[in-house]
Structure 1
Amino acid sequence: MARRRRYSRDPLGLRRALSGLLLPGLVCAMALLAALALAGAQGAAALAERWQRGAAAAVTVQVPDAEAGRLQRALESLRAMPEVAEAQAMPEDRLNALLRPWLGDAPAITVPGVIELRLHDARTDPVLIGDRLARDVPGALVEAHGLWVQRLAALARSLQAMALGVLVLVAAVAAAVVAVATRAGLAARRDAIEVLHGLGARDGYIAGRFARRLGLLAASGALVGTAAAVPALALLADLAGPWVGSEGRLASLAGLPWPGLLALPPVAFLVGWGTAQSTVRRWLRQLP
Structure 2
Amino acid sequence: MRLRRTRGRDPLGLRRVLSDRLLPALVAAMALLAALTLAGARGAGGLVARWEGGAATALTLQLPHGAGTDRALAALDALPEVAEARLADPARLKALLRPWLGEVPTIPLPQIIELRLARLPSDAAALTARIAAAVPGATVEAHGVWVARLLALARSLEAIALAVLLLVAGIATAVVAVAVRAGIAARREAIAILHALGATDGDIAARFARRVALLVGIGALGGTLVAAPVLAAFADLAAPLLGGRAGAGPLDLPWAVLPWADLALLPPAAALIGWVTAQLTLRRWLRRLP
Deviations along 1:240-264, whole A, 9 cap, x unmatched? 1111123466883222112211110
SS at match of 1:9: coil
**Matches of 2:192 and 2:98, distance apart in 1:** 79
User: Which residue matches 2:22?
Assistant: 22
**Matches of 1:5 and 1:132, distance apart in 2:** 82
Following TM superposition, by how much is the alpha carbon of 1:119 offset from its aligned partner in structure 2, in angstroms? 3.1
Following TM superposition, by how much is the alpha carbon of 1:133 offset from its aligned partner in structure 2, in angstroms? 1.9
Name the CA shift for 1:73/1:251 in 2 (closer, same or farther; >3 Å): farther
Q: TM-score, normalised by structure 2?
A: 0.83
Any conservation in 2 of the 1:55–1:149 contact (CA below 8 Å)?
Answer: yes
User: Which residue matches 2:55?
Assistant: 55
Pair 1:88-2:90 in alignment: no
User: Which residue matches 1:183?
Assistant: 181
Any conservation in 2 of the 1:87–1:117 contact (CA below 8 Å)?
Answer: yes
User: Which residue matches 2:272?
Assistant: 270
User: Which residue matches 1:211?
Assistant: 209
**Matches of 2:88 and 2:5, distance apart in 1:** 82
**Matches of 1:79 and 1:157, distance apart in 2:** 32
Name the CA shift for 1:130/1:90 in 2 (closer, same or farther; >3 Å): farther
**Matches of 1:269 and 1:30, distance apart in 2:** 13
Residues 61-72 of structure 1: pairs in structure 2 closer than 5 A? 61-64=61-64, 66-67=65-66, 69-71=67-69
SS at match of 1:155: helix
Name which of 131, 143, 159 aligns with 1:129: 131
Pair 1:257-2:259 in alignment: yes
Q: Aligned partner of 1:88: which letter?
A: L
User: Which residue matches 1:237?
Assistant: 235
SS at match of 1:287: coil
Any conservation in 2 of the 1:48–1:153 contact (CA below 8 Å)?
Answer: yes
**Matches of 2:224 and 2:171, distance apart in 1:** 17
Any conservation in 2 of the 1:32–1:229 contact (CA below 8 Å)?
Answer: yes
Name the CA shift for 1:121/1:179 in 2 (closer, same or farther; >3 Å): closer
**Matches of 1:50 and 1:5, distance apart in 2:** 54
Name the CA shift for 1:81/1:97 in 2 (closer, same or farther; >3 Å): farther
User: Which residue matches 1:13?
Assistant: 13
Residues 164-183 of structure 1: pairs in structure 2 closer than 5 A? 164-183=162-181
**Matches of 2:186 and 2:134, distance apart in 1:** 82
**Matches of 2:205 and 2:77, distance apart in 1:** 72
Unaligned runs of 5+ residues in structure 2 are: none
User: Which residue matches 1:31?
Assistant: 31
Name the CA shift for 1:118/1:94 in 2 (closer, same or farther; >3 Å): farther
SS at match of 2:134: helix
Superposition RMSD in Å: 3.0
Deviations along 1:59-92, whole A, 9 cap, x unmatched? 111223x23x445654565467673424123644
**Matches of 2:254 and 2:7, distance apart in 1:** 49
Residues 105-124 of structure 1: pairs in structure 2 closer than 5 A? 112-123=110-121
Deviations along 1:95-154, whole A, 9 cap, x unmatched? 5368x5xxx879xxx9754322223444494443332222xxxx1122323322221111
Following TM superposition, by how much is the alpha carbon of 1:34 offset from its aligned partner in structure 2, in angstroms? 0.4
Name the CA shift for 1:5/1:77 in 2 (closer, same or farther; >3 Å): closer
User: Which residue matches 1:192?
Assistant: 190
Q: Aligned partner of 1:87: which letter?
A: R
Name the CA shift for 1:5/1:166 in 2 (closer, same or farther; >3 Å): closer
**Matches of 2:143 and 2:237, distance apart in 1:** 25
Deviations along 1:167-217, whole A, 9 cap, x unmatched? 111111111111111111112211211110100111111111101110110
Following TM superposition, by how much is the alpha carbon of 1:278 offset from its aligned partner in structure 2, in angstroms? 1.2
Name the CA shift for 1:261/1:20 in 2 (closer, same or farther; >3 Å): same
Q: TM-score, normalised by structure 1?
A: 0.83
User: Which residue matches 1:146?
Assistant: 144
Q: Aligned partner of 2:86: which letter?
A: A
Going by fraction, where is helix more abundant, 1 or 2? Answer: 1
